């Protein structure tokens, strides 16, 4: 029996278009059991103009009713709405998502006007690293119906945490593909021939036909982006290791480069 998911959706009132909120509502009816939506209205003060002249920082009650409550009521979804004034943006999301029992976090992502690539503030990267459930990064103008799913794995991994992360990525990828009736592909990049992943193991553990497994030489971000473009992937699923200490401060890792390189939505699985 399917279990009801709890989708935690971040809405930034500073934006005029709410891509994560729209995506969560549009995809909810596609699931066998419609999820509950926990909507959090909050602004990342690191990246938003907080001066008094920013008219988007002023929102009337009618804005909440017209933009959030009415669309939810029209969809007939179970939901909660809360507003956060917390200055610690990422921490407030993590705390509220845990309190809500979130099984997914939908986060809106917008590129800079002069670039198609995403950039990440420290607070956003901290959120990715510490989230206890998958984080879905939603970009504008991406496909509603997930027809092709691409999961990025690292089957050269030898450390237990990395092997466990591969398992989580595959489990989530199959879940998403089955939920949307989508075609699932797997990609594994490698740099040197000595580091070539075991293709037979990939076929066995993924349960996919060989033609849907892409093992290519090159840097992971380039390999994933190239395959995603070739197969016209609607969403890319990848993992990141929740690091501690000095490693935690290093933001320029493979996951960030992959997310920046692809054009569509991304699902981040944390080890």
Contact 123, 92 (CB under 8 A): no
DSSP 140: T
Over the stretch 175-225, which tens digit does the pLDDT of each residue have?
A: 989 888 899 999 999 998 888 888 888 999 999 999 999 999 999 889 999
Architecture category of domain 6-138 in CATH: 3-Layer(aba) Sandwich (3.40)
| Weakest mean pLDDT among 24-33, 103-112, 122-131, 252-261 | 252-261
Q: Where do the structural domains in the chain lie, given as residue ranges?
A: 6-138, 148-270
Dihedral pair phi/psi, residue 220, rounded to 5°:
-55, -45
In degrees and rounded to multiples of 5, residue 203 shows phi and psi of: -65, -45
| 6-138 and 148-270 share one fold | yes
Q: What pLDDT, in 10s, does the model give residues 129-138?
A: 889 999 999 9
User: What's the rounded Cα separation, in Å, for the pair 24 and 31?
Assistant: 11
Average pLDDT over residues 15-36: 87
Return the half-sphere exposure (C-beta side, CA atoms, 13 A cut-off) of residue 43. 16
Residues pairing with 91 in the sheet: none
pLDDT of 41 reads 94
- Strands 148-152 and 235-240, by their bridges, are parallel
For the segment(s) 148-270, the CATH number from 3.40.50.12370, 3.40.720.10, 3.40.50.300, 3.40.50.720 is 3.40.50.12370
SS3 content of the chain, % helix, strand, coil (to 5): 40, 20, 40
Confidence label for 33 from pLDDT (cuts 50, 70 and 90)? confident
Mean pLDDT of the chain: 86
């Amino acid at each position: 029996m399917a279990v009801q998911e709890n989708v935690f959706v971040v809405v930034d009132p500073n934006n005029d278009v709410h891509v994560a909120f729209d995506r969560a509502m549009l995809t909810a009816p596609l699931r066998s059991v419609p999820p509950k939506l926990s909507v959090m209205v909050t602004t990342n003060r690191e990246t938003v103009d907080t001066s008094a002249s920013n008219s988007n920082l002023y929102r009337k009650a009618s804005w909440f009713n017209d933009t959030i409550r009415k669309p939810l009521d029209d969809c007939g979804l179970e939901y909660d709405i809360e507003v956060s004034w917390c200055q610690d943006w990422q921490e407030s999301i993590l705390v509220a998502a845990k309190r809500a029992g979130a099984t997914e976090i939908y986060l809106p992502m917008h590129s800079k006007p002069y670039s198609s690539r995403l950039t990440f503030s420290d607070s956003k990267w901290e959120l990715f690293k510490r989230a206890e459930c998958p984080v879905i990064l939603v970009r504008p103008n991406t496909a509603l119906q997930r027809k092709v799913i691409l999961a990025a794995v690292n089957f050269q991994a030898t450390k237990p945490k990395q092997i466990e992360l591969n398992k989580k990525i595959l489990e989530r990828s199959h879940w998403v593909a089955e939920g949307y009736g989508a075609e699932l592909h797997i990609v594994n990049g490698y740099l040197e021939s000595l580091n070539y992943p075991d293709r037979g193991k990939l076929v066995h553990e993924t349960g996919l036909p060989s033609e849907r497994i892409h093992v290519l030489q090159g840097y992971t971000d380039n390999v994933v982006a190239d395959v995603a473009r070739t197969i016209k992937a609607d969403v890319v699923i990848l993992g990141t290791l929740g690091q501690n200490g000095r490693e935690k401060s290093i933001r320029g890792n493979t996951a960030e480069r992959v997310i920046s390189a692809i054009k569509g939505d991304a699902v981040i699985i944390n080890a």
